[in-house]
Amino acid sequence: MQTMTRQMAKDIRVIGRFTEVWCAGHRHDGRQPVTVPGSDKPLQLCPECAGFFEYAVLKRQKCPLEAEKPSCKKCRIHCYAPQQRDKVRQIMAWSGRRMLLRGRLDYLWHYFF
Ligand SMILES: [Zn+2]
């Protein structure tokens, strides 16, 4: 594991949380604890969502724009492959709405796609 910046750890926690809300909300089967890099709280994710989360973590850790990064939404590279980019958009929109309904506004700053 490479060292992570605080921003990186925060971004990873956020995408993880959104993915968890998505996974639980869609009642996916076989949810298991998944380790979150930079956090001691595991997420409950099904194998498919865990795979997606791993991909997101990898992309975030490899981000070449770390220093100048405003947010993934404004990124000029858009490093996600089209399929994952679609998925992250779906997840952020769906989970974002759900968190909004539950008053979880703290998760809804600048974020992602
Ligand atoms: Zn799932």
Ligand 1 centroid from CA 68, angstroms: 32
Cα–Cα distance between 93 and 99 in angstroms, integer? 10
**Is residue 1 one of the residues assigned to a domain?**
no
**Is residue 61 one of the residues assigned to a domain?**
yes
Phi (first) and psi of residue 103, to 5 degrees = 80, 20
**Is residue 112 one of the residues assigned to a domain?**
no
**Is residue 44 one of the residues assigned to a domain?**
yes
Ligand 1 centroid from CA 28, angstroms: 5
Ligand 1 centroid from CA 21, angstroms: 9
Ligand 1 centroid from CA 32, angstroms: 10
Residue range(s) defining the domain that contains residue 79 = 6-106
**Is residue 111 one of the residues assigned to a domain?**
no
Q: Which residue has the tokens 């947010």?
A: 71
Please state the pTM of the whole predicted model.
0.84
Ligand 1 centroid from CA 20, angstroms: 7
Q: How many domains does the chain have?
A: 1
Contact 45, 18 (CB under 8 A): no
Cα–Cα distance between 82 and 63 in angstroms, integer? 17
For residue range 38-86, what is the model confidence (pLDDT) as tens digits?
888 999 999 999 999 999 999 998 888 876 666 676 777 778 999 999 9
**Is residue 113 one of the residues assigned to a domain?**
no
